[in-house]
């Protein structure tokens, strides 16, 4: 979405204090200055975050660390620094992986600081240029705002891929004539499915024995690229005695908007999603995408001052559950099927382990599968470089992180890497293609769903 800044621009140029022409927020309408000041001053500069930060680990520059970024935010809140282009590029160099938030002994709410800083950057327009405005206008402000447009684009992508045109373009060398940024992005293109979630899942599906009634979120990218994971999620819920309600025409959760400075659009999408679900009739609202879930759980914070939606948002956030979290809460029913040897390692999506503090529940899911051997990888919680649209806006740093992650995955000698976020899945699949690796990238819930299907097949198989 954003033009990729050079490394010098993102890390080495000085941050200029208040000078003529720079934005000087007065406190009215400023996302940073309007923050509760206790959030801004919470950081005690201990440095515990430094070894957990991928960008600091790479550059060893203080400004590329959470502590350094928070110091800049506080300078703006204090009125000692204006919102400069250099500050903006630094905040977009941050992955937003929230590893610092896990490491912080003071409990600094880096999520809020990060999102409000990016919102202030967009308000200040210090990064604006015609190309950037056009790309953001088409994508964040239009395509990811309206499900019908996203689905049309998805169908066009499917035809492009299924017709063989994509393969022809790749083999023909036509991409050599494309701009470098487009050439670099093309290998990341995920495979779009012919049918989306609404084609695979009925609006209401009931189990043989009903103990719970839950809503299922289908997502935006997930809906186009991994609708089978949504089907698997519904099957797993049904196998655990949950009636599944899947409203049609669901909107993007707004995480893309909230993490990229479009705070008002994030609020708009939150309201639309809340309106789609019969919240009071549900025991839980289920998400299977880590990045989405981290944002969805904070609708109460997003809409805290909305006179119409604040109460609904509180109920929403209280009932919003990651699928692994929900299964662990109600007690996973182990599949009653023959063991099938599976050597699996697990990559922890940043917004599941750091954003939602969900780490042992996905492992519970995996260990419930007969025959599955879980092989822990080194640095399982280290970012893979996807980070929303980071692999698009910061391809150099993203590629470094992917190489590091691939080394640890292959080091386990597992046949499968399980991960619970569509962005991570797209990134790791691209890594497998680049390395010509046969390791499969699969959602943990898909592995559990496959075991339940084996159970059903064995149960229905003729005896003798």
Model confidence pLDDT, tens digit, residues 157-198: 999 999 999 888 888 888 777 777 777 778 888 899 999 999
Query: b or e along 101-132 (b: 16 or more beta carbons within 10 Å of the residue's beta carbon)?
Result: bbbbeeebbbbbbbbbbbbbbbbbebbeeeee
CA distance linking residue 41 with residue 68, whole number of Å: 13
Nearest to 104 by CA among 130, 70, 155: 70
Which is more confidently placed, 463 or 67?
67
Domain count, the chain: 2
Phi, psi (degrees; rounded to nearest 5) at 441: -105, 115
pLDDT > 80? residue 453: yes
pLDDT > 50? residue 1: no
**Residue 53: inside a domain:** yes
**Residue 397: inside a domain:** yes
**Residue 445: inside a domain:** yes
CA distance linking residue 204 with residue 326, whole number of Å: 19
CA distance linking residue 327 with residue 45, whole number of Å: 38
E strand or H helix at 270: helix 263-276
Pair type for strands 342-346 and 416-418: parallel
**Residue 425: inside a domain:** yes
The Cα-based distances of 162 to 167, 169, 343 in angstroms read 9, 13, 31
The range of the structural domain enclosing residue 72 comes to 7-131
pLDDT of residue 464: 59
The pLDDT of 24-53, averaged and rounded, is 82
DSSP string, 214-243: EEE---SHHHHH-HHHHHHHHHHHHHTTEE
**Residue 235: inside a domain:** no
pLDDT > 90? residue 287: yes
- pLDDT tens for 104-116 read 999 999 999 999 9
**Residue 81: inside a domain:** yes
**Residue 74: inside a domain:** yes
Which of 131, 149, 180 is a domain's end point? Answer: 131
Phi, psi (degrees; rounded to nearest 5) at 269: -70, -35
pLDDT of residue 184: 75
pLDDT of residue 34: 85
pLDDT > 80? residue 414: yes
- pLDDT tens for 347-361 read 999 999 999 999 999
CA angle 422, 99, 228 (to 5 degrees): 10
E strand or H helix at 433: helix 422-434
CA angle 359, 390, 192 (to 5 degrees): 85
Average pLDDT across the chain, whole number: 91
Return all residues near 262 (Cβ < 8 A) that are at least 6 apart: 119, 122, 140, 141
Which of 104, 131, 158 is a domain's end point? Answer: 131
pLDDT > 60? residue 340: yes
Asked if residue 253 lies in contact with residue 269, where contact means CB atoms within 8 angstroms, the answer is: yes
DSSP string, 158-193: HHHHHTTHHHHHHHHTGGGGS-HHHHHHGGGPPPPP
**Residue 410: inside a domain:** yes
pLDDT > 80? residue 19: no
CATH of the domain at 385: 3.40.50
Crossing angle of helices 110-124 and 263-276, rounded to 10°: 120
Q: Is 343 helix (H, G, I), strand (E, B) or coil?
A: strand
The Cα-based distances of 214 to 62, 276, 280, 281, 412 in angstroms read 45, 13, 11, 8, 36
CA distance linking residue 361 with residue 306, whole number of Å: 33
CA distance linking residue 112 with residue 355, whole number of Å: 11
The pLDDT of 339-351, averaged and rounded, is 96
Which of 131, 147, 166 is a domain's end point? Answer: 131
DSSP 196: -
CATH of the domain at 118: 1.10.1060.10
């Amino acid at each position: 979405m954003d033009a990729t800044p050079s490394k010098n621009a993102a890390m080495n140029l000085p941050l200029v204090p208040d000078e003529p022409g720079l934005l000087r927020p007065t406190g009215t309408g400023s996302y940073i200055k309007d923050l509760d000041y206790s959030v801004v001053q919470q950081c005690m500069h201990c440095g515990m975050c430094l070894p957990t930060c991928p960008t600091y680990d790479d550059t060893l520059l203080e400004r590329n660390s959470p502590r350094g970024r928070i110091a800049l935010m506080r300078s703006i809140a204090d009125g000692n620094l204006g919102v400069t282009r250099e500050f903006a590029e630094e905040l977009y160099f941050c992955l937003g992986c929230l590893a610092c938030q896990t490491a912080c002994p003071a409990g600094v709410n880096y999520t809020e600081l990060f999102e409000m800083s990016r919102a202030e950057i967009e308000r200040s327009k210090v990064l604006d240029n015609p190309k950037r405005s056009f790309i953001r206008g088409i994508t964040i402000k239009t395509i990811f705002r309206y499900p019908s447009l996203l689905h049309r684009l998805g169908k066009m992508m499917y035809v492009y891929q299924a017709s063989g045109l994509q393969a022809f373009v790749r083999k023909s060398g036509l991409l050599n004539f494309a701009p470098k940024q487009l050439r670099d992005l093309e290998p990341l293109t995920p495979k779009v499915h012919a049918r989306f979630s609404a084609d695979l899942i009925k609006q209401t599906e009931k189990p043989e024995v009903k103990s719970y009634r839950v809503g299922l979120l289908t997502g935006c990218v997930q809906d186009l690229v991994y609708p089978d994971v949504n089907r698997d999620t519904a099957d797993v819920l049904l196998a655990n005695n949950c009636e599944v309600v899947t409203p049609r025409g669901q909107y993007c959760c707004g995480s893309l908007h909230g993490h990229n400075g479009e705070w008002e659009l994030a609020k708009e999408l939150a309201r639309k999603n809340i309106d789609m679900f019969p919240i009071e009739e549900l025991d839980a609202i289920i998400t299977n995408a880590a990045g989405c879930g981290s944002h969805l759980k904070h609708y109460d914070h997003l809409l805290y001052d909305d006179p119409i939606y604040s109460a609904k948002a509180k109920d929403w956030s209280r009932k919003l559950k990651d699928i692994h979290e929900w299964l662990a809460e109600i007690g996973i029913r182990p599949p009653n099927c023959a063991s099938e040897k599976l050597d699996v390692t697990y990559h922890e999506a940043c917004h599941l382990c750091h954003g939602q503090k969900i780490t042992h529940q996905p492992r519970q899911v995996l260990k419930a599968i007969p025959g599955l051997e879980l092989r822990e990888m080194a640095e399982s919680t280290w970012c893979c470089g996807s980070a929303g649209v980071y692999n698009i806006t910061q391809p150099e740093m993203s590629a470094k992180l992917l190489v590091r992650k691939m080394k640890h995955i292959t080091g386990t000698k597992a046949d499968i890497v399980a991960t619970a976020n569509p962005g991570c899945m797209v990134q790791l699949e691209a890594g497998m293609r680049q390395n010509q690796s046969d390791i499969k990238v699969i959602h943990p819930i898909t592995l559990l769903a496959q075991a339940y299907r084996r159970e059903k097949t064995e149960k229905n198989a003729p005896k003798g």
